[in-house]
Amino acid sequence: MTAAPLQETRFRLSEQQARELAETYGTPLYVVDEAHFRQRIRTYCDGFRAVAPTGELSFATKANSTVALIKIAYQEGCSIDVASEGEFRAALMAGVPASACHLHGNNKQIGELETAIEAGIGMIVLDNFEEIECIAKFAGHGTKFVIRLAPGVDPVTHAKISTGQADTKFGFNIMDGSGERALLRAIELGLPVIGFHCHVGSQLLDPEAQISGGELIAKFAAEMKVRHGFETTYLNVGGGLGVRYTDGDVPMSHADYCREIVVAIDKALADTGLNPKLAQEPGRSLIGESGVTLYRVGSVKIVPAKEIGTRTYVAVDGGLSDNPRPALYGSKYTVERVARKRPDGTGSGGDRTYTVSGKHCETDKLFGDVQLPADLAAGDLLQVLCTGAYNSSMASNYNRYPRPATALIFRDGSHTLIQRRDTYEEMLAREILPKELA
């Protein structure tokens, strides 16, 4: 029997939309579709609440901290997960109450903690013993605390986005007793600890690691009740569900993913008398597939290449500074020319293999061995799918290039900027030329 084709879940621009957006706002350009983003949140939430009716969905803003997108996530019922004072300030700018925000981080600074607690942040995820001692000075402000645990789970994902194993900078190890000592010290200092947190990694295409993480922190909660009478009322199993960067990536549905995790946690808590509120904090799986990046081709160059004879490079007007993930993780994406035919009606005449490169002073190979029309030429538009997560939030000014603008397509098809392109004046405003160098 032939397998059913995969359902396409990624947003992509029509030819008309792409050309209009590029003409209006320039390229490179991040584009997010409002309706698609809202639907992703609703689908995930529906799947989660079908098995955990009181479950909390928290949007991990590290994936994309654009203020307008934080606003949408909050409007759809998400609390907001922030990993820095900057992300916290972005959430406040979006109109999110501080009480709806959760602060993460493995090395939170005193200033960050003071700002968050004085603003009335709802939850802080405790990560190390020094932090526990520091936070004790601010107790009594109404902020709740959870303890981040390292459950010793090594997920199948890239090493640089794996965070739940024993050898990690995040949280308190369960196996060596650090998690238990952290709980007892926090209680001793009077901190209102309500439960535990873990996050095993990102871009997980099956739930095995997340299930193991959830089971382990649930069992830990049960042990803390038996040993110390601690009643866990909150368990956060993090995020991590992968997205469809390429046709070879086949993530589980939100509903199946949530069901398998919650069933495992419920089993681990059976007969313990504990019934904690369950939480997840997805980022990539909510916003990733809702965004694309538009580039314009600048040149096409054929060069000699060992073993394969020649290689054809396509240079675009962006690169490492607007998408560092290929350089950091070897990440792959789906790349398409906006139209198979040009406005004059001429066809592509089939595909050929290209290497899409950026314009920076590095190798800056964005996307290797991609299939694009054989007549690809300067001036053509390319759209890269699934760039809603970790592109805008990781963008830089390397080589003094302005970070791209972000456009939002509203549900009625109209569009607007939600983040404008950097100006050179802003880029250089931080510079100080001492008078001694005059």
Residues labelled catalytic: 361
Q: Is the separation of the CB atoms in 76 and 44 below 8 Å?
A: no
Length of the chain: 438
3-state secondary structure of 188: helix
Question: Dihedrals φ, ψ of 47, to 5°?
Answer: -65, -40
Picking from 15, 90, 30, 21, the residue whose alpha carbon sits closest to that of residue 60 is 90
CA dist., res. 83 & res. 385, Å (int): 26
Bond before 28 cis per omega within 30 degrees: yes
Scored b (16 or more CB within 10 A) or e, 52-65 reads beebbbbbbbbbbb
User: Which residue in this structure is represented by tokens 């991609």?
Assistant: 370
> Strand 415-419 relative to strand 335-337: parallel, antiparallel, unpaired?
unpaired
Identify the bridge partners of residue 53 per DSSP, sorted by sequence position: none
Phi, psi of 347 (to 5 degrees): -90, 175
Nearest in space to 408 (alpha carbons), one of 4, 154, 66: 66
- Separation CA 129–CA 24 (nearest Å): 51
d(CA 92, CA 90) in angstroms, rounded, equals: 5
Q: Which residue in 294, 305, 319 sits closest to 402, CA to CA? A: 319
Among candidates 285, 213, 288, 286, which has minimal Cα distance to 242?
285
Q: What is the DSSP letter of 186?
A: H
Contact (CB, 8 A) for 123 and 146: yes
Residues 6+ apart with CB under 8 A from 384: 292, 293, 295, 323, 333, 334, 335, 336, 367
- Identify any residues that bridge with 292 across adjacent strands, giving them in sequence order: 31, 385
Q: What share of the chain is helix, strand, coil (3-state, %, to 5)?
A: 35, 25, 45
Contact 315, 357 (CB under 8 A): yes
